[in-house]
Amino acid sequence: MSLTQTPLQTQTRYTISEVEARTGLTQHTLRWYERIGLMPHVDRSHSGQRRFTDKDLDWLGFVGKLRTTGMSVADMVRYAELVREGPHTADDRRELLERTRDEVRTRIAELTDALAVLDYKIDTYAMCTAVAGAVAGEADRT
């Protein structure tokens, strides 16, 4: 880094097309995230083109995990607002994430129960098929 360069100038910058390719999020979704406040401020080039950083990509990865949990967009935006407000909101952020974790654990338990029912039914049908095959084999020998 030269003496005139700031750390910001040495960061890798990505266009919206490059971020789309790296994240799988559409350009429309990226613009929407920015518009609703889910994305922090995205720098712009002198021509107004969005320039995302590695930090932005990390944030989008985290948002993707929150989406996977089923967290509502409103809660994700609230979380982003709390982050922007600063470290004094850590307790509120933790509570929001703990609530989401509890909801995920509940969903996992529900899905585990549903999986057990599916496994039972599949095993039942497999046994029916095996018995039907055995009966058909006996009929062929007589």
Torsion 31-35-38-41 (CA) sign: positive
Domains and CATH numbers, the chain: 7-141 (1.10.1660.10)
Name residue 61's amino acid.
G
Nearest to 100 by CA among 62, 60, 70, 59: 70
Q: What is the pLDDT of residues 108-136, one digit of tens each?
A: 999 999 999 999 999 999 998 877 777 66
- Residue 108 in contact with residue 79, Cβ under 8 Å? no
pTM of the predicted structure, to 2 decimals? 0.76
pLDDT > 60? residue 33 = yes
